[in-house]
Amino acid sequence: MTRRLSFFTSALCLLMFSWATTLNAETEDKLQFSGFARVIMGYLDDENAEYVGYDNSVNLNQQSLLGLQADYRLSNDFSMTGQVVGYTNDQRNSGLQWLYLTYSPNNALQIKLGRQRIPFFTYSDSLDIGFAYPWLTMPQQVYDTAFFPTFDGALASYEFAIDDWVINYEGYWGRFDDKIYLASQDINTKVIGLFGVNTTVGYKNFIVRASYGQGDIDIEQDEVVQFSQLLRQFGFTNNADWLNANGLLQFYQLSANYEDLDYFVRSEFVKVKGEGGLFADVDNFYISAGYNFYPYTVYVSYSKKDLHFDHIASEIPFGFTPDLDVLAATYLGVLAAFPDDKSTGTKLGLRWDWHTNLALKAEMTFVQAKDAISNDYAVKDLGNFDGQAVLYQLGVEWVF
DSSP assignment of 131-195: GGSS-SS--HHHHTT-S--EEEEEEEEEEEEETTEEEEEEEEEEEEEEEEEETTEEEEEEEEEEE
pLDDT reported for residue 334: 87
Backbone φ and ψ of 216, nearest 5°: -95, 115
Amino acid sitting at position 133? Y
| Pair 251, 270: CB distance under 8 Å | yes
What is the rounded CA–CA span in Å between residue 240 and residue 299? 48
Q: How many CB atoms within 10 Å of residue 104?
A: 16
pLDDT reported for residue 92: 82
> Which domains occur in the chain, in start order?
2-399 (2.40.160.10)
Query: Could you tell me the CA-to-CA distances from 356 to 40, 295, 398 in Å, in that order?
Result: 19, 10, 9
pLDDT reported for residue 198: 97
- DSSP secondary-structure letter at 311? P
What is the rounded CA–CA span in Å between residue 41 and residue 392? 8
Query: Could you tell me the CA-to-CA distances from 9 to 2, 21, 42, 246, 362 in Å, in that order?
Result: 10, 18, 23, 39, 27
Q: What is the mean pLDDT of the chain?
A: 89
What is the rounded CA–CA span in Å between residue 362 and residue 299? 11
Distance of CA 61 to the CA centre of its chain: 17
Closest listed residue to residue 84, CA positions, set 46, 115, 121: 115
| Pair 355, 397: CB distance under 8 Å | no
User: Under 8 Å CB-to-CB from 220, ≥6 apart: which residues?
Assistant: 187, 188, 189
3-class secondary structure, 23? helix
User: Under 8 Å CB-to-CB from 383, ≥6 apart: which residues?
Assistant: 48
What is the rounded CA–CA span in Å between residue 4 and residue 221? 31
pLDDT reported for residue 282: 92
pLDDT reported for residue 376: 75
- Tell me the helix, strand and coil percentages in the chain, rounded to 5: 15, 55, 30
| Pair 200, 209: CB distance under 8 Å | yes
Instruction: Tally the residues of the chain.
Output: 400
List per-residue pLDDT tens for the chain, 400 residues long.
444 434 444 444 444 444 444 444 444 579 999 999 999 999 999 999 999 999 999 999 999 999 999 999 999 999 999 999 999 988 788 899 999 999 999 999 999 999 999 999 999 999 999 999 999 999 999 998 777 889 999 999 999 999 999 999 999 999 999 877 665 667 888 999 999 999 999 999 999 999 999 999 998 888 888 899 899 988 999 999 888 888 999 999 999 999 999 999 999 999 999 888 888 899 999 999 999 999 999 999 999 999 988 888 999 998 888 888 899 999 999 888 888 889 999 999 999 999 999 999 999 999 999 877 877 778 889 989 999 999 999 999 999 9
pLDDT reported for residue 320: 85
pLDDT reported for residue 28: 57
- Partner residues linked to 146 by β-bridges: none
Closest listed residue to residue 83, CA positions, set 55, 117, 118: 117
**Burial profile 268-307: b = 16 or more Cβ within 10 angstroms, e = fewer:** bbbbbebebbbbbebbbbbbbebebeeeebebebbbbbbb
